[in-house]
Structure 1
């Protein structure tokens, strides 16, 4: 049994709060010196940006299960879900899936580390991890019920992790996983649009200039679909650069009037919701397997407002009624949700290294500027991701 396995076995048996060999330069070393804490951005309550707090003494993460790895975070990025979670959105639902040991120890989910994207280096592997080893350069999207990536180290399940594309730096890689896996879940899992089925399909993306929209455009174009993007005029150049075949500027003329001049679509990905839902559903080819999928759902909101039982019931009734209503019109109605997936990132990494997908980054900020990154995202109209450089390039 090698040293890493012995160390992982010891962790599984004793669950100590000390697991990493780290030197003064925060690199990975084989010295016997062990640190018990790490720096991280945490929140101790839900609220506005003032609840973000830099803490140099957050307990080191440990491997609880044999399929987990510990990643040294080189870069992370900010997503809308981070802002929503900071404000308490989805807390009741997420707490049901959070680490019960952490909640039992602290009495709540706090201190909570936000951040979903990570690109970094594998430091330790659980006993059952076969595809990764210490020193591997990896990327991943961490599910929202786990401690996040605005920290020096993070734990992830091996099936959530993939080898980082060689063509990307850590900062570039950290901008991609969460948004592209959300797009993948919507297009592949909900719409059934695989690379084999995409050629010739007409797809409409509403809210195309955000992180999920830009990822969806690139996926669909890599697979041969015809993409129509809906955005404001100042995102026109970006949409063209990403390969959109047709661009609708909703600020110059009614979206409804502009859509009437286009042929019907095989699939629609809606990142906006609200009034766009009914409008979009009129633009699909009926009785042809056409699918509408929205990422704006009442699932977490209902649970927050009504409690888990009543919220789930309300959500189920809402979804069932919409599915039935539109199925009668020959249209499939779906909700899309993020799903962490290392195998999907493997496929996406191939597209990146083949030059068919690229990161869309607006700015890179140092680790000290995490609060500023939240403010920037909340200001809206970003044209790319804000990346947090945790370790210098």
Structure 2
């Protein structure tokens, strides 16, 4: 099978598309032919060994000290079941499925082997591209916002035009909140169309200069911390750090929340249902073939990726 292979840390050009052996189908797993996958900020961080502050040594131990331990990145997939492993019930060859692969990665390939218990069925009314586009950002946004947002609250989304931010704006809007979106001016119309009531252009106004009137502050880019985020809160508000350094993760408590989101099929099902109902736009800004994976990584590294970037192996 063909896959995007990363054998050393470095710039986008270290990614090479080549033929590699197909994964074996083990007990409890499904072999899925990938129709769409996403290139996310997580893929870019791991490829470049560019980890949040304080996580470097621990991340190297987890992902590979000198080179990536998992040479095929890609934590999101949507595709068709090609083979059902021993001990699996409820899935058949030909089923359309999607999900996330966790630290196993492997999605940037024609085939991926995934645990059946962590796989969701893709609704017929949702394309493979939209399924792959919504899972990473949507699952993260839903993890942090969850049921915290109530009608009439003021929600600030910092980094509102990315994969997490576009989902967060819509989830907060659906909950009846007043949404302030921070992004570049060129993406203002997009986030307004997703439900933002106010848009702040970060190129002319710093998020740090905004008033302390927000019930929920969600930072998706990492330029807020537990101290600066608190200065934006109204009494009783909460700061949600989707991208945080080690110190903020360890010390997050009370009105600050940080950490990683769970890769839960129940969450995937909820997101997919919203997409199928027309209540959540995955915002897939670009769809590229696997052979253009280097360009996809360049877009991620630029910091100007809008919504999700999808590959079709």
- TM-score band by shorter chain is 0.7 to 0.9
Unaligned stretches of 5+ in structure 1?
1-37, 300-314
Matched, 1:61 2:8: no
Instruction: Provide the residue aligned with 1:151 in structure 2.
Output: 109
Residue 86 of structure 1 and its aligned partner are, at CA, apart by: 0.8
8 Å Cα contact 1:45/1:110 also seen in 2: no
List per-residue Cα deviations over 1:27-82 (Å, max 9, x = no partner). Answer: xxxxxxxxxxx2111111212223212221x122123342x222110111211111
Deviation larger for 127-136 or 172-181? 127-136
Q: CA–CA distance in 2 between the matches of 1:140 and 1:377?
A: 21
List per-residue Cα deviations over 1:297-319 (Å, max 9, x = no partner). Answer: 223xxxxxxxxxxxxxxx4xx54
Residue 109 of structure 1 and its aligned partner are, at CA, apart by: 5.4
Instruction: Provide the residue aligned with 1:75 in structure 2.
Output: 36
From 164, 169, 188, the equivalent of 1:217 is 169
Instruction: Provide the residue aligned with 2:11 in structure 1.
Output: 48
8 Å Cα contact 2:4/2:16 also seen in 1: yes
Residue 200 of structure 1 and its aligned partner are, at CA, apart by: 3.0
8 Å Cα contact 2:287/2:310 also seen in 1: yes
Residue 168 of structure 1 and its aligned partner are, at CA, apart by: 2.5
Unaligned stretches of 5+ in structure 2?
none
Q: CA–CA distance in 2 between the matches of 1:123 and 1:92?
A: 38
SS in 2 for 1:266: strand
Q: CA–CA distance in 2 between the matches of 1:184 and 1:131?
A: 27
Matched, 1:204 2:156: yes
8 Å Cα contact 2:36/2:77 also seen in 1: yes
Matched, 1:171 2:132: no
List per-residue Cα deviations over 1:320-341 (Å, max 9, x = no partner). Answer: 5553xxx4xxxx1111313211
Instruction: Provide the residue aligned with 1:124 in structure 2.
Output: 83
From 247, 259, 274, the equivalent of 2:223 is 274
8 Å Cα contact 1:293/1:336 also seen in 2: no
Residue 280 of structure 1 and its aligned partner are, at CA, apart by: 2.9
Residue 184 of structure 1 and its aligned partner are, at CA, apart by: 1.7
Instruction: Provide the residue aligned with 1:133 in structure 2.
Output: 92
SS in 1 for 2:16: strand
Q: CA–CA distance in 2 between the matches of 1:275 and 1:344?
A: 26
SS in 2 for 1:251: coil
Count residues with an aligned counterpart. Answer: 308
Residue 111 of structure 1 and its aligned partner are, at CA, apart by: 5.9
Q: CA-atom RMSD, angstroms?
A: 2.6
Q: Report the TM-score when normalising by structure 1.
A: 0.71
Q: CA–CA distance in 1 between the matches of 2:203 and 2:32?
A: 44
Instruction: Provide the residue aligned with 1:142 in structure 2.
Output: 101
Instruction: Provide the residue aligned with 2:265 in structure 1.
Output: 342
List per-residue Cα deviations over 1:228-250 (Å, max 9, x = no partner). Answer: 11112111100111111222223
Select the structure that is richer in strand.
Answer: 2
Q: CA–CA distance in 1 between the matches of 2:109 and 2:135?
A: 17
Q: CA–CA distance in 2 between the matches of 1:83 and 1:108?
A: 14
Residue 294 of structure 1 and its aligned partner are, at CA, apart by: 0.7
Cα gap change, 1:200 to 1:128, in 2 (>3 Å): farther
Q: CA–CA distance in 2 between the matches of 1:348 and 1:275?
A: 27
Q: CA–CA distance in 2 between the matches of 1:254 and 1:79?
A: 25
Q: Report the TM-score when normalising by structure 2.
A: 0.88
8 Å Cα contact 1:178/1:338 also seen in 2: no
Residue 361 of structure 1 and its aligned partner are, at CA, apart by: 1.9
List per-residue Cα deviations over 1:152-190 (Å, max 9, x = no partner). Answer: 1111222332122322222222211111111122222xx
Instruction: Provide the residue aligned with 2:300 in structure 1.
Output: 377
Matched, 1:265 2:214: yes
Q: CA–CA distance in 1 between the matches of 2:93 and 2:9?
A: 35
